[in-house]
């Protein structure tokens, strides 16, 4: 067979090439296009072609080379495309999704939500106020007279350029925010972050969290307050929890008290957490001082109320037996991940 018809046959052969997988495709590439392949062999034969036929044969060999290349590339694309459709056909849309790794709620948020939940069930609504506050809402309206030593009980962060603007030292500031907008009956809790200029240690921090409670109506008694706090303690720490009220002093309540609960770490027997007393303080409370009601625009001859402020960190420490306050703000994932199950 002369060279020309041999090339013609090869052109027809190439047009019909098929490959059903990568291996077959590679075999075709080797057969036609590799160094010892069909096209290279033709190039060798080309040297023996008579000069007058060289032009035509040359063109035919080049055509064969381009067509073989295009055909093999086309087959490669087909294989790729069918692999994609095949994997789409194997998609099982009923399969459950891969689990998305969820973060965990911060223990302070967990406990805060639990506190909100308990008081919501008792009919308390949520109220909110700013963390950057003015002196009036944090101190003056709460019956802290100017220059009164009681202000020193709370080491305040001042905004230097505006001595009247401070970081709130307690959520009691939200009491006055609520009362100046709303007349009794008032029954609110105000969760939030507070700031004090304290040296950071295992037992103190420059910011922490409180939940304030305020109840103002025509007839409110200390017995109401005690009952609500007892119920809260037992919901939070279990039915066997006992409470103890000790007389105390706060400018905004009269009488004032601090409440301890029986230490739930040692069950009241005494341990290092409760300093071997069997009791742990968790909140301050009292009957709202009439001067506070008047300062906030509520008629103290008609209304009375009780208030309390509890420390969220203290309650979280007790609930999860955490001995170092700094754990809450260090963002150590090993610590935070321990609360996965509690979410």
Residues forming contacts to ligand DAH in the complex (CB under 6 A) are: 170, 172, 212, 250, 253, 284-286, 307-309
Measured from the CB atom, the residue of 191 and 284 that comes closer to ligand DAH is 284
Measured from the CB atom, the residue of 32 and 303 that comes closer to ligand DAH is 303
DSSP 252-309: TEEEEEEEEEE-TTTTTS--TTTTTSSEEEEEEEEEEPHHHHHHTT--TTT-EEEEEE
Tell me the closest approach of the beta carbon of residue 236 to ligand DAH, in angstroms: 17
Phi, psi for residue 261 in degrees, rounded to 5: -120, 155
Measured from the CB atom, the residue of 78 and 156 that comes closer to ligand DAH is 156
Distances (CA, A) of 30 to 6, 26, 62, 76, 314: 19, 6, 17, 14, 77
Measured from the CB atom, the residue of 32 and 232 that comes closer to ligand DAH is 232
**Which pairing describes strands 304-311 and 279-288: parallel, antiparallel, or unpaired?**
antiparallel
C-beta atoms surrounding 47 within 10 Å: 7
Measured from the CB atom, the residue of 268 and 286 that comes closer to ligand DAH is 286
**Would you give the DSSP letter of residue 157?**
P
Which DSSP helix (H) or strand (E) runs through 162?
Answer: strand 162-167
> In DSSP terms, which residues pair with 246 in a beta bridge?
258
Tell me the closest approach of the beta carbon of residue 172 to ligand DAH, in angstroms: 4
Measured from the CB atom, the residue of 57 and 298 that comes closer to ligand DAH is 298
Measured from the CB atom, the residue of 19 and 211 that comes closer to ligand DAH is 211
Tell me the closest approach of the beta carbon of residue 264 to ligand DAH, in angstroms: 21
C-beta atoms surrounding 128 within 10 Å: 12
Tell me the closest approach of the beta carbon of residue 256 to ligand DAH, in angstroms: 6
Measured from the CB atom, the residue of 263 and 283 that comes closer to ligand DAH is 283
Tell me the closest approach of the beta carbon of residue 97 to ligand DAH, in angstroms: 46
Tokens of 95: 């399969």
- From the list 105, 309, 316, 104, the residue with the least C-alpha distance to 214 is 309
Measured from the CB atom, the residue of 237 and 250 that comes closer to ligand DAH is 250
Which DSSP helix (H) or strand (E) runs through 218?
Answer: none
C-beta atoms surrounding 221 within 10 Å: 11
Task: Calculate ∠ Cα 266-343-236, nearest 5°.
Answer: 40
Tell me the closest approach of the beta carbon of residue 106 to ligand DAH, in angstroms: 21
Peptide bond into 185 cis (omega under 30): yes
Tell me the closest approach of the beta carbon of residue 175 to ligand DAH, in angstroms: 7
Tell me the closest approach of the beta carbon of residue 233 to ligand DAH, in angstroms: 16
Tell me the closest approach of the beta carbon of residue 309 to ligand DAH, in angstroms: 2
Task: Calculate ∠ Cα 42-44-50, nearest 5°.
Answer: 90
The sign of the torsion formed by the CA atoms of 173, 174, 177, 179 equals negative
């Amino acid at each position: 067979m002369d060279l020309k018809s041999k090339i013609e046959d090869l052109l027809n052969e190439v047009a019909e090439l098929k490959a059903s997988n990568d291996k077959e495709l590679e075999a075709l590439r080797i057969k036609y296009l590799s160094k010892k392949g069909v096209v290279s062999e033709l190039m060798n034969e080309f040297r023996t072609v008579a000069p007058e036929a060289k032009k035509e044969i040359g063109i035919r060999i080049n055509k064969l080379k381009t067509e073989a290349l295009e055909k093999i590339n086309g087959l490669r694309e087909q294989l790729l495309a069918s692999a994609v459709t095949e994997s789409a056909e194997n998609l099982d849309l009923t399969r459950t999704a891969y689990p998305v790794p969820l973060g965990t709620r911060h223990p302070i948020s967990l406990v805060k939500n639990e506190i909100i939940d308990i008081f919501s069930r008792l009919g308390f609504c949520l109220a909110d106020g700013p963390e950057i506050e003015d002196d009036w809402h944090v101190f003056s309206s709460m019956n802290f007279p100017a220059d009164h030593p009681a202000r020193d009980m709370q080491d305040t962060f001042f905004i230097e350029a505006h001595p009247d603007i401070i970081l709130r030292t307690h959520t009691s500031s939200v009491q006055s925010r609520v009362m100046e907008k709303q007349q009794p009956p008032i029954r609110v809790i105000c969760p939030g972050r507070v700031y004090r200029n304290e040296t950071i240690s295992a037992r103190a921090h420059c910011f922490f969290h409180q939940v304030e409670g305020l109840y103002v109506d025509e007839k409110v008694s200390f017995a109401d307050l005690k009952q609500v706090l007892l119920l809260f303690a037992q919901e939070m720490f279990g039915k066997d929890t006992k409470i103890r009220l000790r007389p105390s002093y706060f400018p905004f309540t009269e009488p004032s008290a601090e409440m301890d609960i029986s230490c739930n770490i040692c069950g009241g027997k005494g341990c290092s957490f409760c300093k071997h007393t069997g009791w742990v303080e968790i909140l301050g409370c009292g009957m709202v001082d009439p001067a506070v009601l008047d300062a906030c625009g509520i008629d103290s001859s008609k209304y009375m109320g009780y208030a309390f402020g509890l420390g969220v960190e203290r309650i979280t420490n007790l609930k999860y037996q955490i001995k170092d306050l700094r754990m809450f703000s260090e963002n150590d994932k090993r610590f935070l991940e321990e609360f996965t199950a509690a979410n």
